[in-house]
A and B are shown apart, each in its own frame.
Chain A
Amino acid sequence: DGGITQSPKYLFRKEGQNVTLSCEQNLNHDAMYWYRQDPGQGLRLIYYSQIVNDFQKGDIAEGYSVSREKKESFPLTVTSAQKNPTAFYLCASSERTSGSTDTQYFGPGTRLTVL
């Protein structure tokens, strides 16, 4: 069954802790993305990756880090430098980033809450 999985579904973090959100896809897509969604707002791009071992900052990268060691995996670390991390985080993938017709497919999301 092809798709994108994210884990955990819910995550709680204490102040000052780093946490890592998992994203895995078996669609054989080159491009992967991380978005942040706050209540009543659209999606904001955190990081994206076009190929293994390469990634670029999106609009709100400060306080976040990523890695892309494998094609199918794109984990996101929320560091203690992110001052307001409570949000819903969505991972997505598409075949590539260079075209305009590609469709993004989304995972089910991880809700992060800072205690």
Chain B
Amino acid sequence: AQSVTQLDSHVSVSEGTPVLLRCNYSSSYSPSLFWYVQHPNKGLQLLLKYTSAATLVKGINGFEAEFKKSETSFHLTKPSAHMSDAAEYFCVVRGYGQNFVFGPGTRLSVLP
């Protein structure tokens, strides 16, 4: 069975400060892991994905995530938040031959 836990339902940061969105997963298979971003009333946009290559994955808009197998984590980070980063973020896991499993999402607020 697969599952995804996003440890914070809401994260609030000030503009220019670092962002950390936490994700833990469980999977019986060597998984692929994804982060998506969703702005209000929009579809989901892929930020980055891990597929068993480099454990530090760089994505769009300055985001990156590190796959840590021993901790079953795939946390999303960004060194400096921008107002346009305010959105909902979803962590997703997928094992071989399995469906995509979505976390409940983390809402990121960026304060001026």
**Which chain B residue lies CB-closest to A3?**
B43
Taking CB atoms, residues of chain A closer than 8 Å to B44 are 43, 90, 92, 104, 106
In the complex, chain A residues 25-52 whose Cβ is within 8 Å of any chain B Cβ: 33, 40-43, 45, 48
Partner of B102, one of A42, A100, A109: A42
Count of chain B residues with a beta carbon within 8 Å of a chain A beta carbon:
29
Q: Is the beta-carbon distance between A90 and B43 smaller than 8 angstroms?
A: yes
Q: Is the beta-carbon distance between B30 and A100 smaller than 8 angstroms?
A: yes
**Which chain B residue lies CB-closest to A111?**
B41
The distance in angstroms between the C-alpha atoms of A109 and B98, with both chains bound, is 24
**Any chain B CB within 8 A of the CB of A53?**
no
Mask of B2-44 contacts with A, CB within 8 angstroms, 1/0: 0000000100000000000000000001111010100001111
Dominant secondary structure of chain A at its interface with chain B: loop
Q: Which of B61-69, B79-87, B88-96 touches A?
A: B88-96
Interface residues on A, range: 20 to 34
**Which chain A residue lies CB-closest to B92?**
A104
Which residues of B are interface residues toward A (Cβ below 8 A)?
A: 9, 29-32, 34, 36, 41-46, 49, 51-52, 90, 92, 94-100, 102-105
